[in-house]
Amino acid sequence: MTRPIDPNRPARIGVLFVCLGNICRSPLAEGIFIHLARERGQLDRFDIDSCGTGAWHVGHDADSRSIRVAAKHGIKLVHEARQLEPHADFARYQLLLPMDRSNRRGVLAAGSRYAINPSRVRLMRSFDPAHVATADVPEVPDPYEGSDDGFERVFHMLHRACGGLLDRLAEPGGLDAIIDR
C-alpha cells in the first residue's frame, strides 16, 4: 500500500523507484536517494518510495544482501515490499524510475489506461553521469540470482544514478527539464 500523503507538507517532487519484486534494486535505490538527498539538505523536497511490478514479495523486507550492502555504505534500509498501484502511484509520483526495460514496459502498460506521459517513466541509469549522453542507456541488472558482489556493483550504479538525478533536479527547470510536459 502506498504511504499516506501528509496534507500539511508543501508539494514535493514524487520519485518512485521500480523493479520486479521490490526487494533488491528499487529499495536500494530508494535508500540511496534518501541518503543523498538528506546529505544535500534536500530531503524535504521529495516524496520518495519504491515498488515492484510483480507481487511475489509484497509485505517482505528488502533482500538481506541489499540490506547488508547498504549498511556497509552507511545506509539503513527500512522497507516493506509492495506492488505498483497504477492509479495511486501515477497520481502521486511525477517520476517513475524502472531499473530495466522489462519493468519500464510493465509500468507503461499499467499506465496506458491513465494516459501517463511516457517521459515520466525513465530508466534509472539515464541519470548516471556516465550514460546521460548515451543513446542506449544501460539497465541496472537484477542481482537476485547472483552473488553478493553483484549487489555491490548494483549499489555503485544506483549511487551514481541517484546523485545524477539529484543534480538534474537541482538544475534550472529541474523536473520540467526532465519531463517533456
Q: Bridge-partner residues for 67, per DSSP?
A: none
Active site residue 44: no
CA atoms within 13 A on the CB side of 105: 3
Of 19, 24, 51, 162, catalytic: 19
Catalytic residue among 24, 25, 47, 162: 25
Write the DSSP symbol of residue 83.
B
Told to judge if 9 belongs to the known catalytic residues of this protein, a careful annotator would answer no
Clarify whether 142 is annotated catalytic.
yes
Residues 63, 89, 142, 162: which is the catalytic one?
A: 142
Q: H-type helices in the chain, by residue range?
A: 25-39, 64-72, 86-92, 101-111, 148-170, 174-178
Q: Closest Cα partner for 126 from 154, 165, 73?
A: 165
Between vectors from CA 126 to CA 65 and to CA 18, what angle results, nearest 5°? 45
Q: Which three cell numbers stand for residue 8?
A: 500539511
155-158's contacts with Cβ under 8 Å and 24+ in sequence apart are 155/28, 155/32, 155/69, 155/70, 155/73, 157/125, 157/128, 158/25, 158/28, 158/29, 158/32, 158/124
Residues that are catalytic: 19, 25, 142
